[in-house]
Structure 1
């Protein structure tokens, strides 16, 4: 077939228009102004309420850091990322301002005396709420600061002593002193890396199965071990309001600490050797010790071994005590759970887990409190006669909650909720928790009535509500519910009968704000905050929740955004960006439920697809991609067939609505959504282009399970092969853009996934582009990286989607 010189010239000119700069550029680029204006919009303050809700703490967070800041020295060891200059995390964005706002009067008070170059974190209120402590990260360490909430002034309390590399670092005592995990004052200088290795790096296994997920940033050699021990080396310090310091207990590799409600005892977890090169620090061996408040060891409660040999499956767990915590309703009573099945989910047992308690002074023997047929998932406490225990089972999505009687463990537990965790329509919600005299959270209840807040799932989307739940007859009484056209949910209950509370109220184009609601008094709700809409440029866009059917009758849903003024049927169909994330279900009924709310505020995060509504695209967001496997069948046995059916149904819907142009639809997603995108392009020609960010493409590189897949590669090799886009790289005919953070440490999505997949695509002549973002992790943080990502996506969409017809004509 001959191609005319005119067509060749047109094609060259068309490609050159788009890609002359693309192929030559080696610096960060910025997207079009309509996109840049949205991504650079100011952040909305985060909020925390006082105990009785009479005031709120408003924290203004800094914008995204620069790539220069993100490129500062970073130590990657034992699954952690540490800034070695500060002994703290390397990638946190600090708070840059703090204000107090009175709930009733609306008065707003600026905290004075804050650091001149603020990078604050770890906000912690004293039990009487007269003071607040926070950390300030500076170039060479982390200091402790104090806010007097009577004078609304801040002062520096300590030098740069805080060790914040792992776990919590600040606790308030009941008598208004602070327990701080500090750097060991005698830690010395950072160990110097040897100029030559002392010997080979050796790992050995002696027959014990040790299946493990794929982890990044692990220890690799003896020098890494030395560095880990150095940065974990801590000293607990008691610090008074004048900054006077007193050491508490011995130094050690302190993993975490927890003060008893009455302030008399401490749970201290101390990491010990041997370390591991296979798992992160969270699974290293550690001792659990009980200390007096002055640092004397009272009891060694447990010696937790190295967790390398855990059985396979997401319902597997460790042997020995876990969930070691204080009862919220008692001065000093411990509780914990121990698996009776060796941590192996495949073992059939009626009493799979046992919950034990032990009261101060911890000299007696542990007492059996309750048993669980599934995995223990926590307890919400009320008093000696009432607590709610949660149990879960991942493989079947079991979510069960029962009332137990702590004073009479022989009394059978009373199951009050037994449901699928995926079932939104029958979710009574979670109990309302309020602070007790110890400053701990306990249940808000009145006899047999427990107060609950629910997301309020329904065929119309989520309509949250506040209710009482009767534990005797399991009936709900809805006290208040969100009403269309708003999306509103309870943020804090203010009184004992839940007749007064604070809500977060929003709508499609109204920024979320806090409101004071009273259901007893005949007064209108009172607006507390007046946060402005940071996205005025898209205030007029249109949003609708649509439902439609898959070819097997399964109900699906999506949220569609169209540019302001667009009229289906009158205006020409638009190019479409479809954004999605697959989910696995064990029930068709549950999989077909509508998720999200059509009335929620249109918030544009840096990873959102909504930017392109400003560029003349229709956006099909939260496009449901359910994968269902009922009974003994696993969802992933049908992954490809159902994924394709989901995509076909979504395309048919947006085309039949007169919104989308079938010939100009792109599909995209992040992480598992990127995995989905690559699979759709491998097995269909439905789309004009694909965008895959930070995905995994070869499942054999995650051989011990991924997402909700619990079988190993050796148990289901055909599933791992068939679900891997890498296996079908030779079939990809649709242009695909791959983006990936070069420092991605998310389990399973290491950068090599994109590198190898791109090489496979290139080797088979596909149209593909691979962009690595330096120093970025699984989610992108630096301003330059985010802007460049958006520029890449915009160019890809403009060329292969919006102007696809011109491209084809030029050919």
Structure 2
């Protein structure tokens, strides 16, 4: 548990040169003003739409929280992080203001009567869209609020009783009442930590293989178990709009609740013991029950056991029912999948998964709906004669979509799309959905035609489009496409033939805003929002999507930014910051495709490298680092050689453009990008310096797979050794800055990864610095932490890249 007064950054060491003593430093620092101003820019509001698209919900978010906010007491148990004061998750974002806007007229309304110091979340329109529900996080809990959309007045509906520790907490009922998961009023006081342990903590296995990835924040003792059970203890309550309430069903460790489309039944998942010290709470045993909406139990549909023992591989899954959901097109029909291969992808079977259904009143036997040859990936529903069955297989990167007839299970699925999930150029897109009479998402469809939205990948970059797709002929017809010099995509389709829709439109120096487009009427698109450009200081920078080739002929790409007014012929070569994240492919053709768009708005997140264009650097962002292993070869068998070839090609290109100084190139990345950075510095002398944030450097600490590597350490020990920068710490001669959140919750990137790697580097005389950020997770959140990170990176780049001796 973090302490509120834990404000100082602990710098474990600064080694300026071989043999020089480490220096200690305390206190948060701030980067140069040009960087700080960009970070402190006001966030752009978020927008969502009502069912028919007639209303726009405009949500205004505050800037980064303070380190004091982030350092509140926190429980890190069962793979989740809990703020014990509020019975909610400790790191959830929030909004501080709500507005409603009529899409076609542009008329805007401020929601009045919001709570003081609002921390709002969980926005949901009522079925008739006359009310808006949301939650407010108070100092002692989470309360439920509603806003009347006829008066635009908000009011508090409940005390701070909402339990948001796990899963969804608020569901609208058909009668405009709200079903709320509250903390069990009878749960009493939070368990107190024992003065002394009751005994040793013991785990035992009886010989069954139970491979498991390296999860963070697991239960570790009986006291953790008691805390988890306490904070999961919930009671469903029904709240009327006048604030009156009634209990629904029995209390329990409720994992999730899902109302049937007709509102008559509830699907309830309740966690039970035994808990596990090896896997997070999402894999604890649970019962799946069907209740009437009044709370009366109808049936126990499944008793799901503890999910500790699962075969290895990304295509592995559990045995028994999984992905249990309501059919969107039926009043109260459940469907789910069951693996026919025991969950083991290496088992050869004719039917990989079978999909079953069961309808109200749930007294009959399950019925077979369809079977798959790959792993079940969900169903897009339309009606009882038409649905789309989705399948996938990670090992081959295959995805498949088939039309099925739900009324006739004997009718074989008809494949309409089968493709590589990595193939951006031939991606037909994802179906456009609309809401049916139950308020559920179903396919927007006209007979055999469905409507699709695609990223529109091409050799020129992404140009999103809206299309029809004929499910009989497999013919795709483009209805609308983004046009240069803009990057524009469909956000909401407003009518049955997709001739009227809302787009989100942007360009390199034009902030994304929403537009109303009608392809039938001869009227110009209507701008719906006018969000201001948040980064006036970089409006004039130049952005290019560049392509080049690796030495083996593979096409690569990157986005290059240069300072405003920069002219290579007059201003000479610039120092370069290259930022990247490797990705594995099973096809060289897919790996060679151009990703991204040269027309996207220059958005700056907390972790962006673009800040340094204001400091006189050329930036190579989204620098493609593909690792390819075709056929029976795995990509990681070639990781180092291809990684080095990618970096060589990128440096050669920025130099050939006349922009970059070959002797002043820095490289950096976050997470797997940090892992990449450390590997590049281990195996090349290409760079002047490196920056590695929140990475993993010793793959033997993740022995049951990592990233997209499915093999275990014992199956491919040479791969784990050769891909570990820790193994080659003695070869690092390039200065490397390591930054890590001390509360990292990401699987595999334990803070000890950076600590041990730093010690190895220091022991071999490398120039390195390790910065641990108190209370920070895998992504950094507190304003002080982010500004200090930017200061660390700027100081490192100025010394070892821009002013390299």
For this structure pair, what is the TM-score category when the shorter chain's length is used for normalisation?
over 0.9
**Aligned-residue offset at 1:93:** 2.2
Residues 642-696 of structure 1: per-residue CA shift (max 9 Å, x gap) = 0000000000000000010000000000000000000000000000000000000
Query: How do 1:80-479 and structure 2 match up within 5 A?
Result: 80-479=80-479
Instruction: Name the counterpart of 2:671.
Output: 671
Distance 1:585 1:202 in 2: 41
Where 1:395 maps in the other structure, the secondary structure is helix
Where 1:590 maps in the other structure, the secondary structure is helix
**Over aligned residues, Cα RMSD in angstroms?**
1.2
Distance 1:448 1:567 in 2: 55
Where 1:795 maps in the other structure, the secondary structure is helix
Which sections of structure 1, spanning at least 5 residues, go unmatched?
A: 1-14
Distance 1:405 1:237 in 2: 38
Where 1:229 maps in the other structure, the secondary structure is helix
Distance 1:39 1:29 in 2: 14
Instruction: Name the counterpart of 1:11.
Output: none
Question: Residues 58 and 98 of structure 1 are in contact (CA less than 8 Å); yes or no, is this contact kept in structure 2?
Answer: yes
Residues 4-25 of structure 1: per-residue CA shift (max 9 Å, x gap) = xxxxxxxxxxx99xxx999453
Question: Residues 65 and 93 of structure 1 are in contact (CA less than 8 Å); yes or no, is this contact kept in structure 2?
Answer: no
Distance 2:172 2:303 in 1: 27
Residues 245-275 of structure 1: per-residue CA shift (max 9 Å, x gap) = 1000000000000000000000000000000
Instruction: Name the counterpart of 2:551.
Output: 551
Instruction: Name the counterpart of 1:62.
Output: 62
Distance 2:21 2:491 in 1: 49
Moved more, 676-685 or 564-573: 564-573
Question: Residues 266 and 291 of structure 1 are in contact (CA less than 8 Å); yes or no, is this contact kept in structure 2?
Answer: yes
Moved more, 343-352 or 483-492: 343-352
Question: Residues 62 and 93 of structure 1 are in contact (CA less than 8 Å); yes or no, is this contact kept in structure 2?
Answer: no
**Aligned-residue offset at 1:569:** 2.9
Residues 317-346 of structure 1: per-residue CA shift (max 9 Å, x gap) = 001101100000110000000001110011
2:538 maps to 1:538: yes
2:686 maps to 1:681: no
Distance 1:586 1:739 in 2: 32
Distance 1:803 1:107 in 2: 54
Instruction: Name the counterpart of 2:26.
Output: 26
Distance 2:770 2:698 in 1: 16
Distance 2:387 2:756 in 1: 52
Distance 1:799 1:197 in 2: 50
**Aligned-residue offset at 1:132:** 1.0
Instruction: Name the counterpart of 2:502.
Output: 502
Instruction: Name the counterpart of 1:578.
Output: 578
Distance 1:590 1:69 in 2: 44
2:720 maps to 1:717: no
Moved more, 755-764 or 55-64: 55-64
Equivalences, count: 789
Question: Residues 511 and 533 of structure 1 are in contact (CA less than 8 Å); yes or no, is this contact kept in structure 2?
Answer: yes
Where 1:369 maps in the other structure, the secondary structure is strand
Distance 1:510 1:480 in 2: 21
Which sections of structure 2, spanning at least 5 residues, go unmatched?
A: 1-14
Residues 404-455 of structure 1: per-residue CA shift (max 9 Å, x gap) = 0000010010101100100000000000000111000000011111100000
Distance 1:105 1:363 in 2: 51
Distance 1:111 1:435 in 2: 25
Residues 47-89 of structure 1: per-residue CA shift (max 9 Å, x gap) = 1111111220000112111001101000011011000000001
Distance 2:674 2:232 in 1: 36
Instruction: Name the counterpart of 2:6.
Output: none
Distance 2:556 2:103 in 1: 41
Instruction: Name the counterpart of 1:562.
Output: 562
Instruction: Name the counterpart of 1:8.
Output: none
Query: How do 1:718-797 and structure 2 match up within 5 A?
Result: 718-797=718-797
Moved more, 718-727 or 118-127: 118-127
**Aligned-residue offset at 1:289:** 0.1
**Aligned-residue offset at 1:124:** 1.2
Distance 1:199 1:735 in 2: 47
Residues 732-757 of structure 1: per-residue CA shift (max 9 Å, x gap) = 00000000000001000010000000
Instruction: Name the counterpart of 2:3.
Output: none
Instruction: Name the counterpart of 1:599.
Output: 599
Query: Given the superposition, is the C-alpha separation of residues 129 and 21 from structure 1 closer, same or farther in structure 2, using an over 3 Å criterion?
Result: farther
Instruction: Name the counterpart of 2:658.
Output: 658
**Aligned-residue offset at 1:570:** 2.8
Instruction: Name the counterpart of 2:10.
Output: none
2:540 maps to 1:525: no
Distance 1:314 1:54 in 2: 41
Question: Residues 272 and 287 of structure 1 are in contact (CA less than 8 Å); yes or no, is this contact kept in structure 2?
Answer: yes
Instruction: Name the counterpart of 1:7.
Output: none
Where 2:556 maps in the other structure, the secondary structure is strand
Query: Given the superposition, is the C-alpha separation of residues 718 and 24 from structure 1 closer, same or farther in structure 2, using an over 3 Å criterion?
Result: closer
**Aligned-residue offset at 1:472:** 1.1
Where 2:43 maps in the other structure, the secondary structure is coil
Residues 631-652 of structure 1: per-residue CA shift (max 9 Å, x gap) = 0000000000000000000000
Where 2:452 maps in the other structure, the secondary structure is strand
Instruction: Name the counterpart of 1:691.
Output: 691
Moved more, 470-479 or 636-645: 470-479
Residues 351-406 of structure 1: per-residue CA shift (max 9 Å, x gap) = 01000000000000000000011111100000111000110111110111110000
Distance 1:614 1:706 in 2: 36
Moved more, 48-57 or 499-508: 48-57
Distance 1:359 1:127 in 2: 23
Query: Given the superposition, is the C-alpha separation of residues 488 and 633 from structure 1 closer, same or farther in structure 2, using an over 3 Å criterion?
Result: same
2:704 maps to 1:704: yes
Distance 2:349 2:528 in 1: 52
Instruction: Name the counterpart of 2:481.
Output: 481
Question: Residues 355 and 371 of structure 1 are in contact (CA less than 8 Å); yes or no, is this contact kept in structure 2?
Answer: yes
Residues 165-204 of structure 1: per-residue CA shift (max 9 Å, x gap) = 0000000011101000001011100011110111111100
**Aligned-residue offset at 1:143:** 0.6
**Aligned-residue offset at 1:559:** 0.4
Distance 1:90 1:328 in 2: 33
Instruction: Name the counterpart of 1:78.
Output: 78
Distance 2:306 2:526 in 1: 54
Where 2:762 maps in the other structure, the secondary structure is helix
Where 2:161 maps in the other structure, the secondary structure is coil
Where 2:229 maps in the other structure, the secondary structure is helix
**Aligned-residue offset at 1:307:** 0.2
Greater length-normalized contact order (CA 8 Å, ≥ 6 residues apart): 2
Distance 2:489 2:209 in 1: 47
Where 1:205 maps in the other structure, the secondary structure is coil
Residues 117-160 of structure 1: per-residue CA shift (max 9 Å, x gap) = 10011111111111111111111111110111111010000101
**Aligned-residue offset at 1:726:** 0.2
Where 1:237 maps in the other structure, the secondary structure is strand
Distance 1:374 1:477 in 2: 28
Distance 1:602 1:62 in 2: 20
Residues 773-809 of structure 1: per-residue CA shift (max 9 Å, x gap) = 00000000000000000000000000000000xxx2x
